[in-house]
Amino acid sequence: MATPITDEPADSITPVERALADREDGTDRFERASDIATRFLDNIEDVVYGKRDEIKLVLAALACGGHVLLEDVPGTAKTVLARAIAATIEGATPSRIQCTPDLQPTDVTGLSVFDQKTRDFEFRPGPVFANIVLVDEINRATPKTQSALLEAMAEYQVTVDGVTRDLPNPFLLIATENPIEYEGTFPLPEAQLDRFFLRTALGYPGLDDELKILEQQRYGHPLADLDSAVTLEDIRELRASAQHVYMDDVIHRWLVELVRATRGHESVVIGSSVRGSLALERAARAWALLAGRSFVIPEDIERLFVPVLIHRVVFTPSFVARARASSWDHAIAEFRAACLLLAPRPGSEEDPIFEHPSS
């Protein structure tokens, strides 16, 4: 609609009043986002114990429209987490795809079937048409089926019989992979790994948490009683707010230097892609938001380096062999430290340059 051009200002608000209103709106925005995040995390913690940081990573991915790869041993609450997320978001549709070598792309995307009554083809949507999709043991699916998931993950749409259909919004895909079993699996190619926003593991709960799990599940699973705590609209609002989080130019440059450092390291065949820089930037904004901040600090980027970048890096066989023989986590920590030496973080947290200009 065209706006009439007049000499009169659209309203009588002065620029100073407008700036103040914007600032207030901004403060409200971050307060609301922090409240949504707290409600979300507290609710999920009613069923998944002692994993707040990992759940926060999944929420950060959700706030950025990214997808999560959970690499974990069996029985570490991966399925429970995905179901809890779906239950926490009012109106969100959950679905689960168990991958096996005979799973066909159309088992995921859906297909057109001939309706005898209407004498026409009718599209039956597959399980990928849901808000929260859990793809169990993704590396057991054939590359053909994996690539059907790829389009959904990257484009938020699915093409069947030449017709492209949009997926629901928000759309979060959580894929699981067992790091121990290799037999009968099809390891995800680099291009597919790169499409995951982040990779994390839930891991075993601590002793006290495990005792609490036994206690809570004596008469049934707490998931059955889990109520919703946020709406689909809240999640969309979280996404919009994450885009307003401030990142200083100095941090921006350092972030790119850090990603580039992964490319020059001697233990690396292929470093992180540009998608890695993009993901790290978005993830840092979301992470700051979930911490109740309206600006990114270097610690956000340091914290996200491993979950956002490592699965995009191809290490040399000798690095992998050495890491597996000792400890993978330790080897990755050393690699991160080496990258931070190549691209040292700018200043400290107290440095005024990192403060939000409006704060």
Smallest separation (angstroms) from Mg ion to the CB of 215:
22
Q: Which of the choices ligand ATP, Mg ion, none does residue 51 contact, using the CB cut-off of 5 to 8 A by kind?
A: ligand ATP
Cβ distance to ligand ATP smaller for residue 77 or 339: 77
- For position 175 contacting ligand ATP by CB under 6 A, the verdict is no
Cβ distance to ligand ATP smaller for residue 143 or 206: 206
The residue type of 101 is P
CB 44 within 8 A of CB 85: yes
Q: Rounded to 5 degrees, what angle do the CA atoms 264, 329, 334 make?
A: 40
State which residue has the least CB distance to Mg ion: 79
- Which residues of the chain form beta strands (DSSP E)? 68-71, 89-90, 94-98, 110-115, 120-125, 132-136, 157-160, 163-166, 172-177, 198-200, 230-231, 268-270, 314-315
The binder of ligand ATP chosen from 18, 31, 74, 189 (CB under 6 A): 74
- Mark the segment that binds ligand ATP (CB under 6 A) among 74-82, 90-98, 243-251, 289-297: 74-82
Count, residues near ligand ATP per rule CB under 6 A:
16
- Looking at residues 133 to 162 of the shown chain, list those that interact with ligand ATP (rule: CB under 6 A): 136
Smallest separation (angstroms) from ligand ATP to the CB of 213:
4
- Looking at residues 221 to 280 of the shown chain, list those that interact with ligand ATP (rule: CB under 6 A): none
- Name beta bridge partners: 111: 124
If you count DSSP H runs as helices and E runs as strands, how many of each does the chain have, helices first?
Answer: 13, 13
Place of tokens 């901004």: 26
Smallest separation (angstroms) from ligand ATP to the CB of 186:
18
- Mark the segment that binds Mg ion (CB under 5 A) among 71-79, 86-94, 197-205, 299-307: 71-79
Which pairing describes strands 132-136 and 94-98: parallel, antiparallel, or unpaired? parallel
CA distance 111 to 36: 37
Cβ distance to ligand ATP smaller for residue 136 or 194: 136
- For position 78 contacting ligand ATP by CB under 6 A, the verdict is yes
Which pairing describes strands 157-160 and 163-166: parallel, antiparallel, or unpaired? antiparallel
Cβ distance to ligand ATP smaller for residue 179 or 189: 179
Is residue 154 within a helix (H) or strand (E), and if so which, with residue range?
Answer: helix 143-155
- For position 49 contacting ligand ATP by CB under 6 A, the verdict is yes
DSSP state letters, 54-87: HHHHHHHHHHHT--EEEE--TTSSHHHHHHHHHH
Q: Which of the choices Mg ion, ligand ATP, none does residue 50 contact, using the CB cut-off of 5 to 8 A by kind?
A: ligand ATP
Site mask for Mg ion (CB under 5 A), range 77-96, x = bound: --x-----------------
Cβ distance to ligand ATP smaller for residue 74 or 264: 74
What values do phi and psi take at 180, rounded to 5? -90, -45
- Mark the segment that binds Mg ion (CB under 5 A) among 47-55, 73-81, 154-162, 342-350: 73-81
Smallest separation (angstroms) from Mg ion to the CB of 261:
36
CA distance 58 to 78: 11
Structure letter (DSSP) for residue 292:
T
| Coil vs helix vs strand at 25 | helix
- For position 85 contacting ligand ATP by CB under 6 A, the verdict is no
Cβ distance to Mg ion smaller for residue 149 or 175: 175
CB 234 within 8 A of CB 131: no
- Name beta bridge partners: 199: 69
- Looking at residues 29 to 48 of the shown chain, list those that interact with ligand ATP (rule: CB under 6 A): 48
Smallest separation (angstroms) from ligand ATP to the CB of 209:
6
The binder of ligand ATP chosen from 39, 46, 65, 79 (CB under 6 A): 79
Residues interacting with ligand ATP, by CB under 6 A? 48-51, 74-80, 136, 205, 209, 213, 217
Sites of contact with Mg ion (CB under 5 A) = 79
